[in-house]
Amino acid sequence: MDYQKKPTFIGIGAQKCASTWVYKVLLDHPEVGVSNPKELDFFSYSYGRGYQWYFNNFLALPVTKVIGEISPSYFCDLSAPARAANFDAKLRIVVTLRDPVERAFSNHLHEIRIKQFWGEDLTFEAGLSNNAMYIEQSRYATYLQHWLDYFPREQILIIFQEDIKQDPQREARRLYHFLEIDPNHQSDFLFRQANPSYGEKYQGIDKTLRMIGHLGRRVGGESLVKWVRGNPLIVNIRQSNRRHLSETVPCMLPETEKYLRQELADETERLAKLLNRESLPWPTWHYLNQCLDK
């Protein structure tokens, strides 16, 4: 086993909090090797596959200064911190967070996009009653504390999605400094949006294109499939068939938003204390402070 390819960092989420942006700005950095696919889920879902399977995902990478992978499933997995620490107590941990209520809504759009939630009622309220993880994955203080029980604070970097939107170059440099790689690298992905929540206007079109792709791969035409996918006509058909899910999924009701901000207020306050911050760049934080001022 090539231990030169042993991971030195992991990104742990939370889900729908810009972990793909982190992956992309590391992907083209010459001093970084990251797994393909992005999410190996080893310390959560795939731990039973063993270290040999885990290392095998990095063998094809060139020898670089740092190597890692990013799996948002780790953040809320209660077993993941101990497993990661047992693997290497010196691992550097990258955590991405965003306003917890906005994260929950984005979580809902994601579930619709990947077709894990469907039906005539696609409202956030219907999704919330169906999936308790909408709230659970927004309990940042609770789950971050589990990681702090196994890793010292200086080995954990917290990046807020709101800060990425405000100044992506600054946040990329913070990430590079944390991993001790060249902070002056300019990623091609720096200002791009990752994983927008799109759905199909007409599912039959997308289904037909996917079927053609599957048939092409089955007969060994991988290069032909790639050519077809990159064909301007096909690209235009796909793009014209897309619509942002916000066009079909209504915003959460005001009373739902109020309930969630109240439900997550304690988590938000505890998170600020954990991070030794006087404020957080979130509407939920402002809501909490308005309540405290009354």
Residue 10 and residue 178 in contact, taking contact as beta carbons nearer than 8 Å: no
Task: Look at residue 55 in the predicted model and tell me its pLDDT.
Answer: 95
Measure the CA–CA gap between 71 and 37, rounded to whole angstroms: 10
Q: Output the CA torsion 251→255→260→263 (10° steps).
A: 180
pTM reported for the whole predicted model: 0.83
> Digits of tens for pLDDT over the chain (294 positions)?
455 689 999 999 999 999 999 999 999 999 999 999 999 999 999 999 999 999 999 999 998 999 999 999 999 999 999 999 999 999 999 999 999 999 999 999 999 999 999 999 999 999 999 999 999 999 999 999 999 999 999 999 999 999 999 999 999 999 999 999 999 999 999 988 765 554 454 455 555 655 655 665 566 666 655 665 667 765 565 555 555 566 779 999 999 999 999 999 999 999 999 999 999 999 999 877 776 554
Q: Please give the pLDDT value at position 192.
A: 83
Rg (CA), the chain: 20
The pLDDT of residue 3 is 53
Pairing of strands 198-200, 242-244: antiparallel
pLDDT at 54: 97
**What is the per-residue burial (b if ≥16 Cβ within 10 Å, else e) of 56-90?**
ebbeebeebebbbbbbbbbbbbeebbeebbebeee
Give 154-206 as a DSSP string.
Answer: GGEEEEEHHHHHH-HHHHHHHHHHHHTS-TT---TTTTPPPS--EEES-HHHH
